[in-house]
Each structure stands twice: as C-alpha cells, then as structure tokens.
A and B are shown apart, each in its own frame.
Chain A
Amino acid sequence: MKIGFKLIAVVALMAVAVGCVKLIEPTPSFAPSTVAFSASASATTVAAAAADSTKAALTVTWNDPKFSVGLKNSKFTVMVGKAGANFTTFSAKEFANTLSGDLTGKELNGMALKFGGVIGQPVALEMMVVASQANNNEPKKSAVIPVSVTAFSGFGLAASPATITTNPATPSATGVTFSWNKAFSGFTGVITYELQHAKNGTSFATPTVVAVTGFTRAFTHLELNSIALGYDVAPSVAGNVQFRMKATNELGAISYSSTSTVAITPYIAINSVGIIGDATPGSWGTDTDLYRPDASKPSEWEVVVYLIGGKEVLFREDDLWGTKWGVGGKGGANIPIANSGFYRAKLNVATGVYSFTPLTVPSIPNGLSLTGDGIGGWGVDTNLTQSPTNPNVYTGTVSLTVGSVKFRHTGDWNINWGGPAGDNDPANYPSAWGKGGGGNIKINTAGSYFAWINIATGEYFFGNTSNSTSYTKLGIIGDATPGGWSTDTFLIQNPSNPFKWSGKVVLTAKEAKFRANTDWGLSWGNATVFPIGIANTENNNNIKIASAGTYQITYNSATREFSFTK
C-alpha cells in the first residue's frame, strides 16, 4: 500500500506541476522608456527649387527611445509649426520603424506657405519630433529644431499654340488654349485663380482680368482678335500679347505664373458697313449703315431698307470705296434690284455672300399705339402719330412709368412689335431693331419720352423730349478730334433714320463732345463712360478718349446713345 500511495502522490504531484505550467503564463511587462529622446535636422536653412520638389530637402534624424514595444512598433511624428507659436497649429509627417525621415521640397514648401511664407522670402519655422508607440502612447518630445524655409512658386502657364492668325470666318472656333499647373506647390488649402492679359511691354501695369475655372482656358478667334486690336496690334501684322495667371491662396498670399507671350495676327476689324446706290435712300451719295445683330458673329451684317426697283446697290466699308462688295463678293459689280420694296439686306463680309429678302409692311388701319404696364396697363392703347413725311414712322411724346411696354396695331395684339431680345432684356432699350412679337421693352425710369418707330424696318427708340427734332448737322468736337475745340468733324446722317449719325474719325487720347448745328447750346458728353454710353447735358461732361486711334463713331441724337469702336 505504501508503494501504491507513493506512486499516486508522485503522479498527482506531476499532474499538478504540469497543470501549473499551463495556468501560470508569464505576465507581459511594459517597462517605460528611460532613454532620453533627441532629434536633429540635416540643415537649418532650406530653399528648394520647383524642379527638385519631390526630392528630400531636409533629413531629420533621431535616436531609438527603446520603447518596450520595440522600434518596429514605434512611431515618429515630425511636427512643423511657425517659430515661436509653440505648435498650436502644425503640419506633421509620420514615420515608423526608422531612425530618420525626409521632408521633400514640396512638403516643406506647403508647410512654409501654411505658416505665413511668401514666395521667394524665408520664413522661420520650428520642428519637433514626437516619439511614441505606434498608437501614440508613451509620447516623448525632442527639443525644438529651428529651420528657415524659402517658399518657391513653380507656377507655370503654357499657351497652345503660341502663334495664331485669327480668322473672321471661324469666330467661335478655339484659337489658343492656356493651361497652368497648381500654384503654391504643396499647399493644401483653397487657391483661386484668374488669368490676366496685357499689352506687350507694359509689365501688366493695368491687366485685363479673365475669370477661370479648372486649369485651362480657351480663347476663340473672335476673343483673340478683339484682345489684339485692343492692344493696338495692327491688322494683318503679328503682335505680341502677354498672358499670366494670378493665384491667391486662402491666407491671402499671391503668386504669379510665368508669363506666356502669344503672337496674334488679327484680321481687319470691319466696324462700319453701308449699303449705297441709286436704289437706296441715300442714292450714290450717302450710305445706309448696316448693323451686326449678333456680336458673336462679327462678319454678319444686316439692315432693313427700302430699295427702288430697276436700280442698283453696292456694299462698302467705312463709307469709302476702298473695300466694296457686289455681285460675286468682294470687289464685284453693282447688284441690280428688280422690284421696289422693303428688304432685309444681309452681307457676310468674310465670305462676301449677301442676300435680299423682301418684306411686307403690315397694314394698320387703326393706327399704332404703345401699351403695357409702363403706360397705363396692358391692353390700354396710347396712340402715336403717323409721320407726315414717312407713312411707316409713328412718333409721340408719351408719359411712361416704371414698367414694360410694346408697340401694337391699336386694339389688336395680332400685330405688335417688341425688342429683339427676351422680355425686359436691357438690350431692348432705349433703342433697338425691333421685331414682330418681340420681347417686352422695360422702362426703368418714369418720365416723359419721345417714342419713335418705323414699322417697315422695326427700328424704334425712346428718346429725350428735348431732342425730338432731328438736326441738320451733327459733329464731334474737342482736342481729341482733328478740328480741335474750334471746328466740328461732322458725322453722316443716316438716310433712313435722321436721328442716327456715324463716321470714321481719327482721335487722340484727349477729350471730345457731340455738337449739333455747330451750336454749343446743343452739345452732349459724358465724363465717366467710354467707349459706349449715353451722353448728358451736365457741366464738365467731356468724353475722355481712352487711347488714340481711328474710331467708328455712332450717335443717336434723340436717345444720346454713343459708341466708339476702333
């Protein structure tokens, strides 16, 4: 029995011993790091270049703090902030399982810009490395390391192509596309961009600003042509125009891109086309001006005009015989008109194609009226008076309130005229080439007006009651004009509308006014608006011509609308 018990005891003891081995696992112990932690940087001054933005600009080195989790499970956070700000705001880059880390030029650049850096100027920053376990436990901070960083731009603008000859036949086609890269390399906040262009050699002293979205902007042939002519590039001659981008970040810092110079050869800007001939109201002596109904189609001109059958017409530029269009296009022979009547005459100056569409003048036995909530209510007619000299013209002095009006056959909505644009569009007032069933004409200021409409052509205007009589002579006068302040340079009266005057005049960058009948009591100007506006009779209202050039000038003596086009 003794032996038996001993055996049992030994077996039991072994069993317990084995059982204890299973039960008692060694408790992991995580002794705190007692190693001092420090870090150093490879440089105290950094001025990276855009070309090296992805390369290491600064290497930070630190020692192993000997965390109980081992280096493999250790993290090192390089914090960068503004010098003296105690890292209340910071940018950070994290590293694991390593004793050094690189900051690229782009990363440092973004940090410098975030903490007040200006392109090309050094900004004082400070760095600190925080060592911790991978989950940020047991953090240990290094001493602060000062570093000075000079931010770079790396902001480029490219034009494709950089040389262009603009084509009047394709005004809407893309001429040049600009593209640019992100400004403020490395900066992560909001950046807004604008494109600027300026006359060559002016160092963008007074740039024209173009709003942009994204990173490209295409300009059409028409836009480029206008831009080049606006900077006095001569037609048919290549001239440089400068473009650049301006970027502003959310902190208000500004960066300009490289400048892109585009050589533009603009086409001749035809800004005056008339129809002349013994079939026209002005016979062979005076042109009837055409107009461009769509500004985006600079080659397309038209006018509604009465032509006499059995006679002839030609189109010409600038009231001169230098450039004319006839049968077959530019330089062609006189165009015969078979039948008398009103026509919509159209000419495409780029192609030379023209057309004459006969029009029928509506019959309005009840007379013509104005109606609308700007003149007593819609459907309430205020009669105009038929002109004794032209049966298609109706005029009247009317009292208008703020509201909308239209012309109509009295009591009959089936025959009515409104503006060429939509209801109440500003383009419908104060003068326009109206059309049957056109848009409401918005009157913005209550008062007494001189209303005028030609139901054959659709042309109408709302003028000043003090200018309701057409003048026999009207010119432009001033030190900007060839005749100075003593002699008028007379404009040409439109044979179909005696209130409209036009002419080609060479002006200097001085001042001018419009004057009728060589009478200073009948003079008009506007000191604040150029090149398009409405003249007034105020004191000191000389029109300031912005730059010298040959201008096509138009003036409506009733509405006092003027325009100067180079």
Chain B
Amino acid sequence: MKNLKYIFFLVSAFLVFSCDKEETKVTFLKSTPPELVVSSTANLVLNKAQENFSSLQFQWTNPTFEFSNGVNTQNVSYVLQIDQAGKDFGSAKQIGLGFTNAVSRSFTVRELNNTLSGLELADFVPQDFEFRIKATLSNNSVPVYSNVVKIKITTYLDVVFPVPANLFITGPAAPAPTSNGDGWMDDGETAVLTQKFTQINSYTFQINSLQINGGKEFLLVPVYGNWANKFGFTGEGAKNNPSGDSFKPEGNNFIGPAASRAYKITVNFKTGRYSFE
C-alpha cells in the first residue's frame, strides 16, 4: 500500500503540472472601436474630366486590442465597408475594401468612382453613401466597428467604350437562320428581335435566355444588318474564354460556349467584358 501512495503522489503531481498549462491560455480582454475620419464629408460631385485628381482620404485608428498577456502585436485586418445609406451595411452589393494593418487610404476621383460603381446605383444623381471600418484580428475574430460617416456623392458613368443604343448577337453560335445560311447577318438584313439584348441599366445589356449552338462563333453588333460597327474579342479570333472575356470595337470573332443549351448573356460596357451563364 505504501507503494501505491507513491504512485498516487506521482499521478497527482502530473495532474498538478497539467493544470498549470491550462492557466497560461491568453484571453482577449477588450478593444476600442476605430475612429473613421474622412478628409471631407461635404457633398461631392465626381467629374470624369478630373479623374486623376485627388479625392477623398480616409483614415482610421487602430482598435488597440488588449489581451491577458498585454497589448496586441498581431496584424489587424480592416475592411472599409461602403453601402447605400439606410441599408445598415446589409445590402447584397455592399462594398468591402480590405487592408492589413494600413490605417489610411487615399482615392483619386476615378478610383472612388469605380469603387462606388460596385453598388450599381444611378450615376449623375446624388446618392447617400455610408462608410465605416470593420477591424478584426487576422482570423476574422472579435470584430469591432467604427463610427459611420455619411457622404452624398454624385458618381459619373465611366464606360470603357461608348454605349450603343442597341445590341444584337449574330453568328453561327446564335440560333436564328440568316439569309445566306452561314449564320452571319447580311448587310440590310431585317433585325432578329430574339437576338436583341435588353439594356438593363445605362451600361449593361442582357439576354435572359438564348439557345446557343455549342462551339460556334459570334459577334456583337449595334445595328442588325449593318457591319459598319461591331464588337469582338480583344485578342486573336476565337481564342477567347468561351464563358466570357473582354471585348472591343472592331474586335475579332468570339467562340461561344462548347455546350449547346440556353444561356444568359451579359455585356457590360463599364468593364468591357461579357459573360455566358
């Protein structure tokens, strides 16, 4: 039995040492909400003619995370959140610009315009935007939010190419037969309305569902039956990504998706890109 006492003593000692390890765990204590300051909160009208001019400068404070073992030395992740006023940073298209450790960001007019365009609000109309900073530790833990800064900003439409009045798809990838039988429209041919895009905003055209002949070529034209203007691939003919790529005026033929089925086609003149879904 005496021997058993020694064994119990040893096990107990082991447990005691084990418990010591649990006590060294570092715990989060508190943080201070960052303070977001913007160089100006006055109404702002962005102007294409001044696209390279300096615009707003955002700065925010470090949230001074504190832990049981002292001050924070870990990197801090910041997200500059931008949303339409009144959405409480909950809208589906809200914008988040991520930073690691940085505590300021300056925008040129064009950068700010392009960033705000992500909300897809009407251009040339004053819109109420809200900005705030979300600060987290690198594993996205213990988020803390800054004050909200509201600014009324008028954006401009910044398209890559002038937006045509109408847009059609033509070529063997498209379903409608053409008078010459090769799938490409002829000069003077009557417009095929099923291959006409719907303009869904000032810079985006869409066809919700169009049966595509797989693996065939196509082009986009502003006037059906008139080859004076067309939009094609920016690179070598038929070497584009079939599910979507960049376009330019007078570009080369696109190759369509390989599978024959109905697709939703979107053409965006703000980005100069199109997509098949």
Contact = CB atoms under 8 A, between A and B. Distances in A.
A33 to B, nearest CB: 8
B53 A90 contact: no
Interface stretch (B10-18, B89-97, B209-217): B10-18
Range for the number of chain A residues in contact with chain B: 35 or more
Contacts of B7: 9, 12
Interface stretch (A130-138, A330-338, A341-349, A551-559): A130-138
Interface stretch (B54-62, B126-134, B193-201, B263-271): B54-62
Given A16-B10, A24-B24, A27-B24, A132 B62 contact: yes
A519 B59 CA distance: 79
Given A90-B57, A135-B76, A12 B10 contact: yes
Contacts of B40: 88
Interface residues of B, number: 41
A410 B210 CA distance: 55
Given A9-B10, A88-B37, A137 B53 contact: no
Contacts of A16: 10, 13-14, 17
B262 interface: no
A32 B54 contact: no
Contacts of B3: 1-2, 5
Contact of B21 (A23, A29, A135): A23
Chain B interface main SS type: mixed
A138 B64 contact: yes
Nearest to B51: A190
Interface string B163-175: 0000000000000
B6 A69 contact: no
Interface stretch (B66-74, B224-232, B245-253): B66-74
Contact of B62 (A90, A92, A138): A138
B53 A190 contact: yes
Contact of A30 (B2, B9, B52, B69): B69
B71 A136 contact: no
A139 interface: yes
Contacts of A32: 70-71
Contacts of A12: 7, 10
Interface in A1-24: 1-2, 5-6, 8-9, 12-13, 16, 19-20, 23-24
Given A24-B24, A136-B101, A68 B73 contact: yes
A84 interface: no
Contacts of B26: 27
Nearest to A89: B39
Nearest to B52: A190
A520 to B, nearest CB: 51
A138 B13 contact: no
A28 interface: yes
Contact of B75 (A20, A132, A135): A135
Contacts of A31: 70-71
A137 B62 contact: yes
A137 B24 contact: no
A92 B102 CA distance: 13
Interface in B68-111: 69-76, 101-104
Contact of A250 (B24, B54, B101): B54
Interface in A83-138: 87-90, 92, 132-133, 135-138
Interface of B: 2-3, 6-7, 9-10, 13-14, 17-18, 20-21, 24, 26, 37-40, 50, 52-54, 57, 59, 61-62, 64-65, 67, 69-76, 101-104
Given A2-B3, A189-B53, 16 more contacts: A9-B7, A9-B10, A23-B21, A24-B21, A25-B24, A28-B69, A88-B39, A88-B40, A89-B39, A133-B73, A135-B101, A137-B76, A189-B54, A190-B53, A250-B53, A250-B54
18 contacts: A5-B2, A9-B10, A16-B17, A19-B14, A20-B17, A24-B21, A25-B24, A28-B69, A29-B70, A30-B67, A30-B69, A30-B73, A33-B71, A132-B62, A135-B74, A137-B71, A137-B72, A250-B52
